[in-house]
Amino acid sequence: MKTGSFPYAFFQDKIVNIEDAKVSIMTNALQYGTAFFGGIRGYYNEEKGFVSFFRIDDHYKRFLSSANIVGCEFPYNQEELKKITLELIAKNKPKANVYLRPFAYVGSTELGPNFANAKLDFSLHMIPLDDYMPTGKGLSVVVSSWQRISDNAIPTRAKISGGYANSALARKEATDGGFDEAILLNSKGHVSEGSAENLFLVRDGKLITPSVSEGVLEGITRRSIIEIATDMGIITIERSVERSELYVADEVFLTGTGCQVAWVEQVDRRSIGGGKIGKITEKLREKFFNTVRGDDDKYKNWTTRISVNA
Ligand code: PMP
């Protein structure tokens, strides 16, 4: 996927031109993956001239908890991060759907991977982003031969850059095999998640999703879907899921800031739900898109509208 960027980024404590937001090849984070990141979407409403950003506060809460997980001090608090974000958006005035990438990294050029005594640097950049994965069709996914990293190897509830080599290997295998996405099993052989998405099944009208102790990221979309479903009277069961349960599910879908709500048509070349989007997935997806665009009054407090007209 080729992406451009908006002209300004936050880098080394100030807003700069994106061309000036550069680090040395010796940077510790680049060499060893000693970094963590976030991802926030904004939805452009052309008619009304605003962008609706989804759950900024919750994204930064998780981002800051990653600093605690790696045991590093972080130079900004939640309020400061939000202020920086709003300033950068105001400067870039995006007239498109956007993706924000907060990034905390060990910026020193010292040799050797180490979070001890490491000072974290912070950057924030923005790219235009519509679909990260196809939303107009069902996905064909494959259970990966790569195992999902376990929390005792690289904590999975933080978005630690080094851990994404695991996702990249699984995605390569899936892409090479002609699939849209990989599903990873954890060290217990249970279903965990996609390379950058949480996973849901529908069975007998109920939602089932691997619990947070199955090596998954505690996804903000996952949490939102559970809450939206509950409000619609749909129960969610968080428990372990075995591979073959995917094959017998009525519906399977993936959630994430990137993929949003993406329905799965095939798992390991086995058709799910007759190859059509399921009723529950469709209902949740519709509600989700209205919510993120700020069109659903019930969930308005999840969105931050920023005018980009002037
Ligand atoms: N799992 C992983 C490994 C991810 O990288 C992501 C994307 N952040 C998700 C799940 C989905 O999380 P969220 O809904 O917070 O974007």
Radius of gyration of the chain (CA): 19
- Which of 159, 172, 206, 283 is the catalytic position? 159
**Relative to the CA of 193, which ligand 1 atom is closest?**
1
- Residues with Cβ within 8 Å of residue 309, at least 6 apart in sequence: 49, 50
State how far the Cα of 62 lies from the Cα of 152, in Å rounded to an integer: 19
**Relative to the CA of 216, which ligand 1 atom is closest?**
1
Helix axes 56-70, 220-231, angle to 10 degrees: 130
Q: Residue holding tokens 């998780």?
A: 62
pTM over 0.85: yes
CB 209 within 8 A of CB 268: no
Least Cα distance to 181 among 74, 257, 242, 265 occurs for 265
How far does the centroid of ligand 1 lie from the alpha carbon of residue 75, in Å? 24
* No. of helices (H) and no. of strands (E), the chain: 7, 17
Domains of the chain: 8-128 (3.30.470.10), 139-292 (3.20.10.10)
DSSP 292: H
Q: What is the pLDDT along the chain (310 residues), one digit of tens a residue?
A: 445 789 999 999 999 999 999 999 999 999 999 999 999 999 999 999 999 999 999 999 999 999 999 999 999 999 999 999 999 999 999 999 999 999 999 999 999 999 998 889 999 999 999 988 887 899 999 999 999 999 999 999 999 999 999 999 999 999 999 999 999 999 999 999 999 999 999 999 999 999 999 999 999 999 999 999 999 999 999 999 999 999 999 999 999 999 999 999 999 999 998 989 999 999 999 999 999 999 999 999 999 999 998 7
Look at ligand 1, atom 7, and give the residue with the nearest C-alpha: 196
**Relative to the CA of 223, which ligand 1 atom is closest?**
14
How far does the centroid of ligand 1 lie from the alpha carbon of residue 62, in Å? 11
How far does the centroid of ligand 1 lie from the alpha carbon of residue 309, in Å? 31
